């Protein structure tokens, strides 16, 4: 009886979850993409939900163009060992999955990491904040944002859009409607560090508090 071991798991007609670290890094370098690591279990409901969001529209298009997928099944010792570098971002008291975005040319530290259950919008925020530099979209609309005196100022050509503010790990911290070209928002409750602004009009920006 032959036992065939396949280091990849087909997710859809387009997306493949690879399971070998060396293969993932090689492919990412060749294709100019970043790596999205999902560190978890096949029996984990949160992990399966994250994979489902990633495999389906609209996230699958972002992933197909910008990321190589790596699934590390931590119940298989040899697979878990391949992701040992990223084990520092997770301990048993934290809920799976661990999602890491990795630059294949500089695998450590991760560009971004996040734990616990994430919905599709939160995962989209993580992906959009960590696109490969060569693939970052340049918008013709002069969207601008900055923080001064604990006030967020956002200007854009759109006068009717919903803005969502996320931490770099994908946690939603604020959401509001903008009804004019310029909007302001108090940032007293925002955490310090890099933040991501996502617009319902399709643009996103990074700012630092």
Using DSSP's 3-state secondary structure scheme, residue 85 falls into: helix
> What's the pTM?
0.63
CB 139 within 8 A of CB 157: no
User: Predicted confidence band at 8 (pLDDT cuts at 50, 70, 90)?
Assistant: low
From the number of C-beta atoms within 10 Å of its C-beta (0-12, 13-18, 19+), residue 43 rates as: exposed
Domain that holds residue 77: 8-134
Query: Does a structural domain hold residue 3?
Result: no
Question: Which tokens hold the place of 105?
Answer: 């040319």
Q: 21-51 pLDDT, tens per residue?
A: 999 999 999 999 999 999 999 999 999 999 9
Q: What is the CATH number of the domain that holds 203?
A: 2.60.40.1220
Based on the domain organization, do 127 and 148 belong to the same domain? Answer: no
User: Predicted confidence band at 163 (pLDDT cuts at 50, 70, 90)?
Assistant: very high
Q: 176-208 pLDDT, tens per residue?
A: 999 888 888 999 999 988 888 888 887 788 888
Using DSSP's 3-state secondary structure scheme, residue 84 falls into: helix
């Amino acid at each position: 009886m032959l036992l065939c071991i396949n280091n990849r798991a087909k997710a859809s007609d387009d997306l493949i979850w690879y399971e070998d670290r060396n293969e993932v890094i090689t492919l990412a370098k060749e294709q100019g993409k970043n790596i999205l690591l999902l560190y978890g279990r096949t029996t984990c409901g949160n992990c399966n939900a994250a994979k489902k969001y990633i495999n389906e529209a609209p996230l699958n298009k972002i992933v197909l163009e910008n990321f190589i997928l790596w699934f590390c099944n931590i119940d298989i010792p040899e697979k878990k060992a391949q992701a040992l570098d990223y084990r520092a971002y997770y301990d048993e008291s934290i809920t799976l999955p661990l999602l890491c975005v990795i630059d294949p040319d500089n695998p450590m530290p991760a560009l971004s990491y996040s734990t616990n259950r994430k919905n599709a919008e939160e995962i989209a925020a993580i992906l959009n904040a960590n696109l490969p530099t060569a693939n970052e979209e340049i918008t013709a609309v002069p969207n601008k944002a900055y923080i001064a005196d604990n006030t967020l100022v956002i200007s854009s050509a759109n006068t009717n859009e919903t803005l969502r503010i996320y931490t770099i790990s994908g946690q939603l911290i604020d959401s509001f409607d903008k009804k004019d070209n310029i909007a302001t928002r108090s940032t007293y409750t925002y955490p310090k560090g890099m933040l991501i602004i996502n617009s319902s009009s399709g643009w996103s920006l990074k700012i630092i508090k």
